[in-house]
Structure 1
Amino acid sequence: MSSTTNAAATAADTSLTGFYRDMTLPERRTFWACATGWALDGMDFMIYPLVIGTIIKLWNVDAGAAGLAGTVTLLASALGGWGAGYLADRIGRVRTLQFTILWFSFFSLLCAFAQNFEQLLICRALLGIGFGGEWAAGAVLMGETIRAQYRGRAVGSVQSGWAIGWGAAVLAQAALFSLMPAEEAWRWMFGIGALPALLVLYLRSYVKEPEVSAQTIKRGQTSGDRPSILEIFRGPILKVTILASLVATGCQGGYYAITFWVPRFLTTERHLSIVSSTGYLAALIVGSFAGYLVGAWFSDRFGRRSLFLVFSLGAMAVVLAYTQLPLSNEILWVLGFPLGFFASGYFSGMGAFLTELYPTRLRGSGQGFCYNFGRGIGALFPFLVGYLSQTTSLANAICIFAMVAYVVFFLAAYGLPETRGKVLHADA
C-alpha cells in the first residue's frame, strides 16, 4: 500500500468557500470540469423519473416495470463504474472520464428515438454503463488533484452539481410539458441529455492527469507490475472493501428509494399535476443543494464518518415524517427542504472518503467497485418500491426501503476509520 501521512485536519480558512480562493489553476480547472460533468450527469439520470408518468400512460406500462428501467440503468452503471475505475488505474483518470461522458451522452440521445418500452429499456441500460463510469473516474480525478486540507469541501461542492442538474431537468420538464404535448415532450427531455458531450472539448484542452496518478501508472508500465482488478479483495483491503461497499449501498439505496418515486408520489397520492408539482420538487432540490454544500463543509470540519452518521439519522427522521404523518400539502412542501438536505448532503463526503481509503495503484478500482456495488444494490430499490406499491401505498413502500437503507448506511459507516486529512502519495 502507499505510504500516507495525516495533514492538518483543517486549513487556516475553514469556511465553506475558503478552499476556492487558495486553489491553483489546475485545481480550479479540474473543479469546474467535474462540477459541470456531475451536474449534467444528474440531469441525465433524473430525466427518466420525471417522465415516468408519461411513459406509464403512453405505453401502458405498470409501475413495477417502469421502476425496472431505473433499476436496470443503475445495475448497468455499477458494472460501468467498476470497469471505468479499473480502466482509470491503467490508462489514466482524464482519458477514462472523456470516454464515459461521450458514452452516456450518445445513449441518452438514442432514448429520445425509442419506439417502445423495450427499446427504451435497452438504451437506458447502455446509458447506465457510461453514467456509472463518469462518477468513478471524476471522483478519483478530483480526490487526487485537490490538496488534503481542501479535499472534502472541494469534492463535496462538486457533488452539489447534481442538484443543479436535477433542477435543470425539472425546469426543462416544466417548460417542455407546457409548450408541447406530453407525447413529444418526453423525447425532447432525453434529447437534452446529450449535452454533456460538449464537456469533452474542455477536458481535452484544459484538464491534466494528476501527478500522483501519472507517476504511479508510469512506474507500473515500466516495471510490468500492473494492478489486478481482484487486489481490492485481498488481505487487509478486503475489510475496507466490504464495509465501504455497504456504506455506498445504504446511502444510494435510501436516496434512490426517495428521489426516484417522489415525483410519482406527488402526482398520484397527493393529486398534483406535473406542472404544479414543480414547486414541491423545487423545495426538495433547493434542500438538496444546501445539503451538498453544508455536507462539504461538515466533511472537512468534523470528518467524513461523522457526516455519514449525523445525516443518515436526519434522513430517517424526515422520511418518516414526509411519508407517514397526515400532513397538508403546504406542510409537505416545507418539509421538502430538510428531506432534500439530509437525503443528499452525505454524498459530499463520499468521493473524498473512498479516495482516501485506497492506495493510488488501486484507487480507481477500489473506489469504482465500492461506490458502484452500492449503486447496483441500490438499483433494486426503484423496482422494489414500485413492486411493493402495488400492494400498499407508494408512501409506505418508499418509507420501508429508505429506512432499511439508512440503517445499513449508519452501521457500516460506524465500522470504518476516519480519513479526514490524509495526504495521497504515488505508490512505491
Structure 2
Amino acid sequence: MAGIVSVNSEPTPIGKRRYLDEARMCSEHYKFLIILALAYAFDQMDLFTFSFVAPALTKHWGVSMEWIGLVNSCTFVGMLFGCWFGGWLSDVIGRKKTFLYSVAFFSTFSVLNGLAPNKELFLVFRTLTGFGILSMVVVAMVYITEILPSASRGKWQAISLATGLLSVPLIGQIAGRVVPSSPDGWRHIFFIGGSGFIILFLGLRWLKESPRWLISKGRYAEAEVIIQRFMPDVKVDINNEASIPVEGAVLVKETGTIAALKEIFSKKYARKTSVLITMVCCITVGYFMFFAWMPTLLNEFGFTLEDALWMTALVSFGSPIGNYLAAAVTDKGGRKIPIVIYSVLVGVMTIAFGTLKIPMLIVGIGFMIRVLMDGVFVVMWSYLAESYPTHIRNTGTGFIYSTGRLLTAGAMIVVPIFTKVMDTQHYSTLSVACSC
C-alpha cells in the first residue's frame, strides 16, 4: 500500500485527510454504538452470571469451593484463547464477521450452560462461553477505535460499555428472585444470557466493516463507500489519495501474528508493552477476583444465599455509573492520569471493605469500589487500543489483554485455598488479597 491512507489514526503526511478521525457523529455512528452496547450487555451478563448462580450450585449440586475456583479459572483460560483467536480472525476475515461470529458463539454456549446435565459438561460449556466473550471484546475494542472520531471515541466507548453494563444489576436482581425459587432456578439465568442472538439480526443490517481493515486488504472502493456513509457531507475519494505516493509517508504492509508480536516487543515498543502488560494484569486480576467471588464468599462467611445475592446485586449498580462517570473524563487530559487516580482509590477503599461485617456498609463501600473499578477498566480499554499502529493493533491489543486473563485464571484457584485456612474474622485479609 503506497503511503499512509486517509483513515489511519497514526500521524498523517501533509495533504492527507484523516476522514474517520475527523468525522462528526452521525446516525451510522449511533447505530454502531447501539450494536456495541447490546453486545457489551450480553457479554457482561454472561460473564457475571456464574457469580450469581455459584452459591446455588454449592447447595443443589453439592459442588465444592475448589470446583467453583476451577470453573472460574477455566473460564478465563477460555478467554485467553478467545483473545488470541478473535484478534487473529478479525485480521483475516474482518472486524464485522468476527464480531458477529463471537456473539453467536458465546450466546450458544450460555444456553448450553443452562442445559448442562452435570458439572463436567457445565465446566466445558463455561470454558467455551469465556472463549466467545473475549473474542468479541477484543474485536470491539479495536472496532470502536477504527470507526469513531478520535476526539470523542473514549467518551463513546465508556457510554456504550456503561449502557451495556446496566445488564449486570438487572441480571443480579433477576437472579436474586429466580435462583432461590427452585433447584433449577439457576438454569433460567443462563437462558436469559443466551438471548444475545438478537444482536445478529441488527448487526447484519447496521454494522459496517472497518474501512481501515478494508484498506489493509487493498479494497479501497468498499472502504470509500463505507466512509462516505459516516461522512455524508464530505466528498470522500480515498482511491486517488491511496494511490499517490507522498514523500515521507510510512509504508504499511500486512503483518502476521509472529511478526506483530516481534514488533510490539521490539526496541521501539518494548517499554510501552511492558507497562501495558503490568497495567492490564493488575487491573484485570483485581477486578475479577473481587467481583466473581463476592456472592460465594459472602455466603460462605455466614450470609444467607438470598442476602449474598441481593448485596452483590446492589453493588453491581456501580458498574454502569462508573462507566458513565468515566465518559466525562476519559477524553480530557489523557488516559494515564485517570488510570493512576482510579487505581489508587480502589486500593484504599478495598482495604476498608475487607474490615466490614455490616451488610449496608459492605454494600456502600463495595458500590464505590465497583464505580471506580469499572471506570478504570473502560479508560484502560481506550488506552490499550490506541497504543499501537493499525497494522499491529489487533494482535498487540489481543495479546496484552489476554495476559490479564491468563494471570486471573491462575489467581482464581487461589481463593478456595485461602478459605481453607481462614474464617469470617480473616475476611479482611482475603478481600485485600483478591484486589491486589
Identical counterparts, % of pairs: 22
Q: 1:89 aligns with which of 85, 91, 108?
A: 91
Q: Tell me: CA distance 1:224–1:333, structure 2 relative to 1, closer, same or farther (3 Å).
A: closer
Task: Give 1:356 deviation, angstroms.
Answer: 1.0
Structure 2 residue matching 1:301: 3-state secondary structure = coil
Structure 2 residue matching 1:144: 3-state secondary structure = helix
Deviates more, 1:63-72 or 1:326-335: 326-335
Q: For the Cα contact (< 8 Å) 2:78–2:127, is it kept in 1?
A: yes
Q: Tell me: CA distance 1:320–1:58, structure 2 relative to 1, closer, same or farther (3 Å).
A: same
Q: 2:81 aligns with which of 79, 82, 93?
A: 79
CA deviation map 1:244-303 (0-9, x unaligned): 2221111110001110111123323252432x3444224322222211111222211122
Return the TM-score normalized by structure 1.
0.84
| Corresponding letter in the other structure for 1:69 | V
Q: 1:16 aligns to what?
A: none
Structure 2 residue matching 1:299: 3-state secondary structure = coil
* 1:11-410 equivalent positions in 2, closer than 5 A: 23-177=25-179, 180-181=181-182, 183-218=183-218, 225-230=253-258, 231-234=260-263, 235=266, 236-274=268-306, 276-323=307-354, 325-393=355-423, 394-403=427-436
Structure 1 residue matching 2:152: 3-state secondary structure = helix
Q: For the Cα contact (< 8 Å) 1:167–1:282, is it kept in 2?
A: yes
Structure 2 residue matching 1:148: 3-state secondary structure = coil
Q: For the Cα contact (< 8 Å) 2:356–2:362, is it kept in 1?
A: no
Q: 2:227 aligns to what?
A: none
Structure 1 residue matching 2:190: 3-state secondary structure = helix
Provide the C-alpha distance between the structure 1 equivalents of 2:406 and 2:164, rounded to a whole number of angstroms: 19
Provide the C-alpha distance between the structure 2 equivalents of 1:85 and 1:58, rounded to a whole number of angstroms: 39
Where structure 2 has 5 or more consecutive residues not aligned to the other structure, the ranges are: 13-23, 221-242, 244-250
Provide the C-alpha distance between the structure 1 equivalents of 2:428 and 2:40, rounded to a whole number of angstroms: 29
| Corresponding letter in the other structure for 2:320 | F
Deviates more, 1:390-399 or 1:286-295: 390-399
Provide the C-alpha distance between the structure 1 equivalents of 2:164 and 2:337, rounded to a whole number of angstroms: 22
Provide the C-alpha distance between the structure 2 equivalents of 1:333 and 1:270, rounded to a whole number of angstroms: 16
Q: For the Cα contact (< 8 Å) 2:326–2:375, is it kept in 1?
A: yes
| Corresponding letter in the other structure for 1:369 | F
Q: Tell me: CA distance 1:3–1:60, structure 2 relative to 1, closer, same or farther (3 Å).
A: closer
Q: 2:21 aligns to what?
A: none
Q: Give the number of aligned pairs.
A: 384
Provide the C-alpha distance between the structure 2 equivalents of 1:389 and 1:114, rounded to a whole number of angstroms: 27
Provide the C-alpha distance between the structure 2 equivalents of 1:53 and 1:265, rounded to a whole number of angstroms: 9
CA deviation map 1:72-102 (0-9, x unaligned): 1111111111211121122211110001011
CA deviation map 1:2-61 (0-9, x unaligned): 77249xxxxxxxxxxxxxxx6212211111111110111010111111111111222322
Deviates more, 1:95-104 or 1:109-118: 109-118
| Corresponding letter in the other structure for 1:281 | T
Q: 1:9 aligns to what?
A: none
| Corresponding letter in the other structure for 1:397 | L
| Corresponding letter in the other structure for 1:215 | I
Provide the C-alpha distance between the structure 2 equivalents of 1:171 and 1:257, rounded to a whole number of angstroms: 21
Q: For the Cα contact (< 8 Å) 1:139–1:351, is it kept in 2?
A: yes
Provide the C-alpha distance between the structure 1 equivalents of 2:413 and 2:289, rounded to a whole number of angstroms: 9
Deviates more, 1:205-214 or 1:237-246: 237-246
Work out which of the two has the higher radius of gyration on C-alpha atoms and give 1 or 2. 2
User: Is 1:4–2:10 an aligned residue pair?
Assistant: yes
Provide the C-alpha distance between the structure 1 equivalents of 2:317 and 2:187, rounded to a whole number of angstroms: 26
| Corresponding letter in the other structure for 1:402 | S
Q: For the Cα contact (< 8 Å) 2:330–2:338, is it kept in 1?
A: yes
Provide the C-alpha distance between the structure 2 equivalents of 1:224 and 1:254, rounded to a whole number of angstroms: 37
Task: Give 1:395 deviation, angstroms.
Answer: 4.4
Q: For the Cα contact (< 8 Å) 1:233–1:241, is it kept in 2?
A: no
Return the TM-score normalized by structure 2.
0.82
| Corresponding letter in the other structure for 1:258 | F
Task: Give 1:177 deviation, angstroms.
Answer: 2.8
Structure 2 residue matching 1:127: 3-state secondary structure = helix
CA deviation map 1:127-159 (0-9, x unaligned): 111111010111111111111110110111122
| Corresponding letter in the other structure for 1:211 | P
CA deviation map 1:375-400 (0-9, x unaligned): 22122222212222221245422311
Q: Tell me: CA distance 1:114–1:239, structure 2 relative to 1, closer, same or farther (3 Å).
A: same
Provide the C-alpha distance between the structure 1 equivalents of 2:252 and 2:341, rounded to a whole number of angstroms: 44
Provide the C-alpha distance between the structure 2 equivalents of 1:297 and 1:3, rounded to a whole number of angstroms: 22
Task: Give 1:191 deviation, angstroms.
Answer: 1.6
Task: Give 1:340 deviation, angstroms.
Answer: 1.0
